[in-house]
Amino acid sequence: MADLIKLTAAQTAERIASGETTAVEVAEAHLARIDAVDEKVHAFLHLDREGALAKAREVDAKRERGERLGPLAGVPLALKDIFTTEGVPTTVGSKILEGWIPPYDATVTRKLKEADVVILGKTNMDEFAMGSSTENSAYGPTGNPWDLTRIPGGSGGGSSAALASYQAPLAIGTDTGGSIRQPAAVTGTVGVKPTYGGVSRYGMVAFSSSLDQGGPCARTVLDAALLHSVMAGHDELDSTSIDQPVPDVVAAARQGDVRGLRVGVVREFAGEGYQAGVMQRVDEGVELLRELGAEIVEVSCPSFTKALAAYYLIAPSECSSNLARFDAMRYGLRVGDDGSHSAEEVTSLTREAGFGDEVKRRVMLGTYALSSGYYDAYYGSAQKVRTLITRDFERAFGQVDVLVSPTTPTTAFPIGERADDPMAMYLADLCTIPSNLAGNAAMSVPCGLAPEDGLPVGLQIVAPAMADDRLYRVGTAVEAAYQARWGHPLLEEAPSL
Amino acid sequence: MPGISREEVAHLARLARLELSGEELDHFAGQLGDIIGAVAEVSDVAAEDVPPTSHPLPLTNVMRPDLVRPGLTAQQALSGAPAEEQQRFKVPQILGEE
């Protein structure tokens, strides 16, 4: 059993397809692992044992009938609680949706089911995906498996923690400002934000619609690629979905050759606020790419220094509008409906009771930035900065094929350290935000442990829009070279739970 | 640095339909002031001749075929309703107020 939970998704699917093990055995091993460790980690908000085992039995029956199985058939997955799941609770980490059972599946959920992936349950997250630590969940924080007193990143901390504690070999996250990549970085796992529009947002609860993007999380680059190819693709239910073929990320992940590739190092992602051990490991990663045959070029993206400010105007503005749908009328919590309050009062009482502090802060910040008299100075200026950042990327990608940088400026910080200092928390997304604003593709891949605290560091790789395959090509090369150097995957060094 | 007063927070909370407590008004006034002070730097680089970007994809009027297809049943659509009556969402009083 212990063996089954340590397999990669690719290995698991192979063993199930060959009959060496069954999907039911695999699902049971993971459910047993969850029972053993999740009380400590708190990665899951809801487990769907029956649904998982029913799906596993279906996969085993298909195999017995001699039907061809998909590349991830029977592989367990932890789904971020932001995707709707028919008949299974979806809370988005918020009290306002406590107990809500969606009547429909998100497109991502549907695609996973069609690919015979076994969905174990729904993972913890910062409320409405607003946060970098998962401390903003209304259902309590998640621990980082490397050190349970530290944050597992956010907003997708439940997904990253589930992977790092072997509760699932695959997970799904959403990345609005770094919510897939930063959790991956601080837990020693792999996370990918696909090109904006690459993965359908239908049924993914909206935070900031021009930035939100679902993507794969895994322990290896190949596993992320397999999941990417299953979840991505055009969807006519999402009008911002790109109607083009998905880049061949699986082939790129199997190739992993960077000879002749031009790699840009972003000069602005260094300096004050960056932990020395993080920079050391990232510099070593750059040196490794040079040894592997890549050409290293320093590039400058001066507008990136304003990305954080632009993001914290654009994302709150869009969220203040998106979250207006939580009006206590059609679904979710309703407070104060006792005959003495009007509908509008009930809406205000419900939102006060159902939203946490960070959601309230951002809704008010967005309301402020969009209000007459302030619109041009705040939201309007932020949109101009967005143009400048996109231009910086275009200039850089004229010189190089991919960009690399730290994923996040520091390793995992202690739970509680930044909880009441919003600006300090926002700094965790310094390096990830530009890609959301420009809509291009980015990955975080482990590049070692910081010498001063022994905690994982992530190397961020950024590629132009619809060149997601380049991420996997570089990611696999880096991953293979590190494993050859270390003699084992980085997660082997995590303390056992 | 542009500060933000307790009264301004109360106004924002009303616009955002949040029934904040007095304690929250004080708490958020300080924090929102800090955040707004920090993000105001966007105006430093936003020159007149830079066009705004609202979205990463240059899409307008995305169409799909107008086909009849299955949707949610009334029962499914009402399944999460806080209150319902005669296959409709039942809401608190919305008319006849000041």
What ipTM is given for this predicted complex? 0.94
Q: Which alpha helices (DSSP H) does A400-429 contain, by range?
A: 422-426
| The A190-193 sheet, strands edge to edge | A44-47, A118-123, A76-80, A170-174, A214-218, A190-193, A441-449, A456-463, A402-406, A262-266, A295-299
Q: What's the fold here for domain B1-47?
A: Histone, subunit A (1.10.20)
Picking from B4, B19, B47, the nearest residue to A349 by CB comes out as B19
3-state class of B64 per DSSP? coil
Give the domain ranges of chain B.
Answer: 1-47
| Per-residue pLDDT reduced to its tens digit, A20-60 | 999 999 999 999 999 999 999 999 999 999 999 999 999 99
- Mark yes or no for CB contact B36/A368 under 8 Å: yes
Least confident of A290-294, A382-386, A422-426, A444-448: A422-426
Picking from B13, B38, B59, the nearest residue to A240 by CB comes out as B59
Determine whether A155 is an active site residue. Answer: yes
Report, as an integer, the average pLDDT of B10-37. 95
Beta strand A441-449 with A456-463: parallel, antiparallel or unpaired?
antiparallel
**Confidence band (pLDDT; 50, 70, 90) for B1?**
very low
- Mark yes or no for CB contact A382/B13 under 8 Å: no
**Confidence band (pLDDT; 50, 70, 90) for B59?**
confident
| pTM for this predicted structure | 0.97
- Mark yes or no for CB contact A332/B80 under 8 Å: yes
- Mark yes or no for CB contact B42/A382 under 8 Å: yes
Picking from B8, B38, B81, the nearest residue to A331 by CB comes out as B81
Return the amino acid letter for A125. M
- Mark yes or no for CB contact B18/A346 under 8 Å: no
What's the sign of the alpha-carbon dihedral A466, A468, A473, A477? positive
**Taking CB atoms and an 8 Å cutoff, what residues of chain B touch A343?**
91-94
> Is residue A185 packed enough to be buried (19+ CB in 10 Å), middle (13-18) or exposed (0-12)?
buried
Q: How far apart are CA A329 and CA B89, in angstroms?
A: 7
**Taking CB atoms and an 8 Å cutoff, what residues of chain B touch A239?**
59, 62
**Confidence band (pLDDT; 50, 70, 90) for A2?**
low
pLDDT of residue B58: 84
- Mark yes or no for CB contact A327/B31 under 8 Å: no
Query: Among the options A55, A80, A122, A193, which is catalytic?
Result: A80
Report, as an integer, the average pLDDT of A322-326. 98
User: For residue A446, what are its two tokens?
Assistant: 């482990």
If you measure CA to CA, which chain A residue comes closest to B54? A383
**Taking CB atoms and an 8 Å cutoff, what residues of chain B touch A339?**
92
pLDDT of residue A366: 97
DSSP state of A103: S
- Mark yes or no for CB contact B80/A102 under 8 Å: yes
**Smallest Cα distance from B46 to chain A, Å:** 5
* Phi, psi of A78, deg, nearest 5: -105, 120
Q: Are A95 and A189 in contact (CB under 8 A)?
A: no
CATH number of A2-303+387-493: 3.90.1300.10
- Mark yes or no for CB contact A312/B38 under 8 Å: yes
Query: Among the options A94, A179, A303, A317, which is catalytic?
Result: A179
Whether the pLDDT of residue B97 is over 60: the answer is no
Percent of chain A topping pLDDT 70: 100
Beta strand B84-85 with A456-463: parallel, antiparallel or unpaired?
unpaired
Place of tokens 């300090």: A424
| Per-residue pLDDT reduced to its tens digit, A134-160 | 999 999 999 999 999 999 999 999 999
Report, as an integer, the average pLDDT of A239-252. 96
Report, as an integer, the average pLDDT of A439-458. 98
If you measure CA to CA, which chain B residue comes closest to A364? B12
- Residues with Cβ within 8 Å of residue A438, at least 6 apart in sequence: A386, A389, A390, A393, A465, B56
> Is residue A449 packed enough to be buried (19+ CB in 10 Å), middle (13-18) or exposed (0-12)?
buried
The per-residue pLDDT of chain A, averaged, comes to 97
- Mark yes or no for CB contact B42/A337 under 8 Å: no
3-state class of A277 per DSSP? helix
Determine whether A179 is an active site residue. Answer: yes
- Mark yes or no for CB contact A346/B92 under 8 Å: yes
- Mark yes or no for CB contact A439/B57 under 8 Å: yes
| Per-residue pLDDT reduced to its tens digit, B75-87 | 999 999 999 999 9
Place of tokens 């542009």: B2
Query: Among the options A155, A229, A241, A405, which is catalytic?
Result: A155
Length of chain A: 497
Picking from A100, A312, A383, the nearest residue to B52 by CB comes out as A383
Percent of chain A topping pLDDT 90: 97
If you measure CA to CA, which chain A residue comes closest to B48? A384
pLDDT of residue A437: 98
Picking from B36, B45, B72, the nearest residue to A303 by CB comes out as B45
Residue contacts between A and B (CB atoms, under 8 Å) = 179
Picking from A236, A306, A390, the nearest residue to B42 by CB comes out as A306
**Taking CB atoms and an 8 Å cutoff, what residues of chain B touch A430?**
none
What's the sign of the alpha-carbon dihedral B39, B7, A129, B55? negative
DSSP codes joined into one string, A168-198:
-SEEEEE-SSSTTHHHHHHHT-EEEEPPTTS
If you measure CA to CA, which chain B residue comes closest to A209? B55
Q: Are A84 and A46 in contact (CB under 8 A)?
A: no
DSSP state of A118: E
User: For residue A117, what are its two tokens?
Assistant: 């992936």
Choose from B6, B31, B44, B53 for mutation: most chain A CBs within 10 A.
Answer: B53
Q: How far apart are CA A189 and CA A187, in angstroms?
A: 6
pLDDT of residue B98: 54
